[in-house]
């Protein structure tokens, strides 16, 4: 494999260089979405075309190229992992009673909870159906194990809602199960279809898992810092839903005895006023909680890059380095 003639420094460079691959991915997603039931098409298209990052399909294509794969199964699996991810978003919005997703009305606010749940179920089943057509038992085992663990992660998070006694280890277990495991599986699947060694597949899994952990840690800090216009996020959404993520965990561990009951009240009430959010954000600055979380995310990316450094220099390797950076900076 050769280095690309132009440097690959940002995720925009990656999209530009691999544009033709991602046209194929988008075509596959639309083809897979097609159903005789119009409601499935309407709900699925609303979410799939609603500004998603295609982060998992991106990793599928890049890891496949890193392994020098040139078949068609990576495009099918890119669609599969995006369908699984989209199914979780449909279900999440019902559980969280969310009205906005990616800066647009959530599917449940347009079509209702029942349709959102059922279309999410359909997308899960369609993803696994498409995977079975590849006739690769290892692919099936990875996806079934991954979706099972993702469901467990969602339930663990639900059981820890507004639980001020949640530990950092429990939080990390939640983001491992909710986010990192699917990203890790995506990278491993690229190794499976490329027929690399077991150590090669393990290496790809480690790259994906570390990027996934960093991605979710960064997302959880953006919930308190991001501009809605830039990333489609509503500030304090996790706080209003009783999700105690790492910035809040760090704050609870380090705040004063006088501040702690005030934080507890905000968490328990659920309805976050502007002054409540400002109070929490002020405390984050006082105790360096956002920086603590981002430093932890950077540690995961450092580990992913160390794993990537073992591969020969190539355009896919450069692209994956850029994607790793994007996971924590979100700079295009």
Kindly list the domain boundaries of the chain, sorted by start residue: 11-329
User: How would DSSP label each residue in 110-162?
Assistant: HH-HHHHHHHHHHHHHHHHHHHHTT--HHHHHHHHHHHHHHHHHHHHHHHTTT
Rounded CA separation 228/145 (Å): 35
CB 214 within 8 A of CB 327: yes
* Per-residue CA distances from 304 to 212, 282, 289, 329 (Å): 10, 32, 23, 15
Rounded CA separation 267/97 (Å): 17
CATH class of 11-329: mainly alpha
Strands 100-101 and 104-105: antiparallel
Q: Considering the entire predicted model, what is its pTM?
A: 0.94
Rounded CA separation 248/260 (Å): 11
Long-range contacts of 274-283, Cβ-Cβ distance < 8 Å, separation of 24 or more? 276/236, 276/239, 277/224, 277/235, 277/236, 277/239, 280/224, 280/236, 280/239, 280/248, 280/251, 281/224, 283/251, 283/255, 283/259
Confidence at residue 14, expressed as pLDDT on a 0 to 100 scale: 95
Report mean pLDDT in 10-residue bins for the chain, 332 residues. Answer: 73 94 94 93 86 89 97 97 96 89 87 95 96 97 97 94 94 97 98 97 98 97 75 77 95 96 91 91 97 98 97 96 95 68
DSSP state of 103: T
CA atoms lying within 13 Å on the CB side of residue 174: 21
E strand or H helix at 104: strand 104-105
Rounded CA separation 198/296 (Å): 29
Q: Where are the alpha helices (DSSP H) in the chain?
A: 11-17, 19-33, 38-48, 55-66, 73-96, 107-111, 113-132, 137-159, 168-175, 181-193, 198-225, 228-231, 237-240, 246-254, 260-269, 274-287, 289-308, 315-329
């Amino acid at each position: 494999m050769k280095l690309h003639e132009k440097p690959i420094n940002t995720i925009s460079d990656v999209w530009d260089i691999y544009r033709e691959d991602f046209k194929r991915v988008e075509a596959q997603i639309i083809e897979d979405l097609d159903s005789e039931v119009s409601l499935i098409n309407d709900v699925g298209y609303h979410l799939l075309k609603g500004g998603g990052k295609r982060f998992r399909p991106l990793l599928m294509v890049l890891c496949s190229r890193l392994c020098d794969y040139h078949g068609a199964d990576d495009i099918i699996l890119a669609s599969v992992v995006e369908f699984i991810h989209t199914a979780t978003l449909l279900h999440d919005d019902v559980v969280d009673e969310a009205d906005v997703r990616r800066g647009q009305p959530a599917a449940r606010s347009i079509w209702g909870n029942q349709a959102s749940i059922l279309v999410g179920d359909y997308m899960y089943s369609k993803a696994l159906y498409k995977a079975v057509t590849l006739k690769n038992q290892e692919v099936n085992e990875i996806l079934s194990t991954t979706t099972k663990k993702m469901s467990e992660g969602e339930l663990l998070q639900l059981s820890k809602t507004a639980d001020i006694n949640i530990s950092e280890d429990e939080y990390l277990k939640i983001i491992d199960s909710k986010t990192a495991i699917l990203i890790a599986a995506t990278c491993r699947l690229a190794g499976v279809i490329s027929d690399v060694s077991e150590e090669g597949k393990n290496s790809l899994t480690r790259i994906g898992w570390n990027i996934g952990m960093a991605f979710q840690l960064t997302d959880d800090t953006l919930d308190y810092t991001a501009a809605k216009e830039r990333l489609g996020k509503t500030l304090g959404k996790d706080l209003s839903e009783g999700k105690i993520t790492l910035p809040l965990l760090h704050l609870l561990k380090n705040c004063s005895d006088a501040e702690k009951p005030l934080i507890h009240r905000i968490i328990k009430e659920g309805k976050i006023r502007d002054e409540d959010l400002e109070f929490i954000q002020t405390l984050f600055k006082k105790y360096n909680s956002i920086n603590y979380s981002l430093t932890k995310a950077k540690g995961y990316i450092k580990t992913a890059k160390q794993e990537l450094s073992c591969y020969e220099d190539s355009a896919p390797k450069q692209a994956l380095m850029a994607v790793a950076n994007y996971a924590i900076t979100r700079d295009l």
